Structures are given as C-alpha cells and as structure tokens.
Amino acid sequence: MLQKCTQQTTKSNQKWQNLKKAKSQTKTTNRALVKKRICIASHQTVGGFFLDWQYENFVKEQGFTQIAGVDEAGRGPLAGPVVAASCILPFDIPGLNDSKKLTPKKRAELYELLTTHPDIQFGIGLCTAQEIDQINILQASMLAMLRAIENLDGADYLLIDGNRLPSTLLPAQAIIKGDAKSPSIAAASIIAKETRDQMMLDYHQAYPQYNFGKHKGYPTKEHISALATYGACSIHRQSFAPVKAIMECISG
C-alpha cells in the first residue's frame, strides 16, 4: 500500500523536481569588460549580466528615499513555513544575486553581511504550514510578505518580486523575476532563503526521520519515501497534493 502511495504521487511531484534545477551561470571571459563593470558604481556583474539599480533609481527620482526589496522563499516544499524578507539596501554588494543562483557558501556569506551590517535594515515574516493549509500557499506568501514589511522600519516604497502585491498601504511595484533584476529584492531573497533553511535544519533535529536538513522540505524521492513510511508530521502541508495523496492511501 505504501509503495502504491509513492507511485501515485510521482507525477504530481515532477513539476516540483524540475523547479530545483538551477540555471548555470555563464562565465565572463573578457577581463577588461569585467573590470569596467565592477567600476561602475550603479551596477554589479552577475553571470555576464548587469544586476543594476534601474528600479531603485527610478523610484528615487519620484522622491522616495527608503526603498525596500521584498521576496519570499519556500512556496514549493511539502513541509515547513513560507518565509519572506524585506530589505533596504543602501549600497552595492559585490556578487549579490538571486539566492537561487548562488552557491550555499556565497549565499551564507552574503546573508551574514546583510543581517549584521549596521546600515542595512531588514524584516522577516513567515506563515506556518498550518496557515498555508488554511488560506492556500499564494495567500500565505502574500501574508508572509506583509509581515516582513511590517517588521521593517522606515520603508517608504516597496519593490516586490512576482506579479502580485500584498495588501500594504505603502506604494509598491511588482517585478517579475525581480530577484534577478533588483539588488534590493536579491538581498531580500537571500535573507528569506537562508532564514528558512536554518529553520528546516532546526526541524531536522525534531524530525530526523525525514532528513529535512538535506532537502529542506522539497519533494525529493527521499522525502516522498519518508512520507510514505512515516506519514506526515506537524510541519507537513496537508493541503499539498503529494502529502494529501499519501495520507489518503495510508488511512484508506
């Protein structure tokens, strides 16, 4: 019966597995071009492309000064919270990029800088698995973002990753794939990702049978197998199709 449950959830997990494949970064071979880009104060070189301040600069021209990037992490996993972060980034940081395109080591280094530098302000918000089950993952992501914004002091404009805006009183702009376009959003994506990963490492201590420390709740083969063997724990998202299918098979 458990083997049947695992087989039934294979197709529904395929789309999540595909999301885990990170795009490889292109290497810049023209050293002169790299040097030129690094010297430009308003730009950073990322994988041969500019991660520039065009969105931030445009908003500043409208009279805003405290511009915060906002992003979330953890929409796709079968377990754990969705975590959002907001960040007001006052200066360039070399190597800053979308958190998904960074190595774990580089992401951890940037996270340390972003969360300890006295001139960088940030806020964090989250929604638990139970909240996700109650209001769905989209609404939970919006709520986590709103909480991250509320936990940030001083922002007067928001640049938000995606194509939707949370219900905030602050003026805001949604930017599709903003974490790869705006330094402020990229900074928020790193803070959100690292915060969530640390939470999943903590959950690994409480529920070692699922190995959350390795897959962070994403629907890997190992995770699906553990679900079929042990059932769901308190941080699993019961409304997500793979979890729901396995639990129905186990109970039925």
Domain covering 48-205, topology: Nucleotidyltransferase; domain 5 (3.30.420)
**Given this model, what pLDDT does residue 216 score?**
98
Tokens of 40: 């430009």
H-assigned helices in the chain: 2-19, 31-39, 54-61, 104-116, 129-135, 137-150, 183-206, 212-215, 221-230, 241-251
How crowded is residue 189: how many other Cβ atoms within 10 Å of its Cβ? Answer: 31
As a whole number of Å, the end-to-end CA separation of the chain is 9
**Given this model, what pLDDT does residue 51 score?**
64
**Given this model, what pLDDT does residue 224 score?**
97
Domain range annotation of the chain: 48-205
**Given this model, what pLDDT does residue 47 score?**
39
The HSE-up count of residue 28 (CA atoms within 13 Å, CB side) is: 16
Per-residue pLDDT of the chain (252 residues; tens, 9 = 90+): 444 444 444 444 444 344 334 333 323 322 332 233 333 333 333 333 446 899 999 999 999 999 999 999 999 999 999 999 999 999 999 889 889 899 999 999 999 999 999 999 999 999 999 999 999 999 999 999 999 999 999 999 999 999 999 999 999 999 999 999 999 999 999 999 999 999 999 999 999 999 999 999 999 999 999 999 999 999 999 999 999 999 999 887
Determine contact, residues 95/110, Cβ cutoff 8 Å: yes
**Given this model, what pLDDT does residue 52 score?**
85
Tokens of 38: 């690094």
| pTM of the predicted protein model | 0.80
Tokens of 180: 């790869």
Amino acid letter, 110: L
Determine contact, residues 114/77, Cβ cutoff 8 Å: no
Torsions phi, psi of 118, nearest 5? -65, -20
The residue among 182, 191, 234 whose CA lies nearest residue 212 is 234
